[in-house]
Amino acid sequence: MNSGIKFFPALLFLAATAAFAADTPADVKAGAALFRDKGCAFCHGADLKGTKKAPALADIGTDKDWPADKMTDHILNGGQKMPPFRDSLSDEEIAQLVAFLRAKDHPAPPPPAE
């Protein structure tokens, strides 16, 4: 009879989860440009396949050892050889970079602004 009341919390939960996890295509695109423009590509490779300086990031989006919050933390604070970016990137920019790294197909960035 009152099954609507039972479903309501489940719907709220789904809506909240979707809002939190949504990496929009616009975020992913912005992240692609940041990856190229902020020096990430210099070490990790424009194609995310890694260089002598840094490991590949191409499959990090499906790597269970690298949830989004850990990526965010690594970008903020750096690692052993990676510099921290907490002073040069905003929280929004870091979220866009993480969205780009989590995207299944890493789209090519839009052409650089003149």
Q: How many residues bind ligand HEC (CB under 6 A)?
A: 22
- Please count the residues of the chain: 114
> Hey, what amino acid is at 14?
L
Residue 38 CB, shortest distance to ligand HEC, in Å, is 5
For the record, the structure tokens of 80 come out as 């052993």
Instruction: Examine residue 33 and tell whether it contacts ligand HEC (CB under 6 A).
Output: no
Residue 54 engages ligand HEC in binding (rule: CB under 6 A): yes
Residue nearest to ligand HEC as judged by C-beta position? 79
Judged by CB under 6 A, which of 28, 30, 40, 95 binds ligand HEC?
40
Instruction: Give the H/E segment covering residue 44.
Output: helix 40-44
5-37 burial, b if ≥16 CB within 10 A, otherwise e? eeeeeeeeeeeeeeeeeebeeebbbbbbbbbbe
> Is residue 71 a contact residue for ligand HEC (CB under 6 A)?
yes
Let me know how many helices (H) and strands (E) the chain has, helices first.
Answer: 5, 0
**Exactly one of 22, 81, 104, 112 binds ligand HEC (CB under 6 A); which one?**
81
Per CB under 6 A, residues contacting ligand HEC are 38-40, 42-44, 53-55, 57, 60, 71, 74-75, 79-83, 85, 97, 101
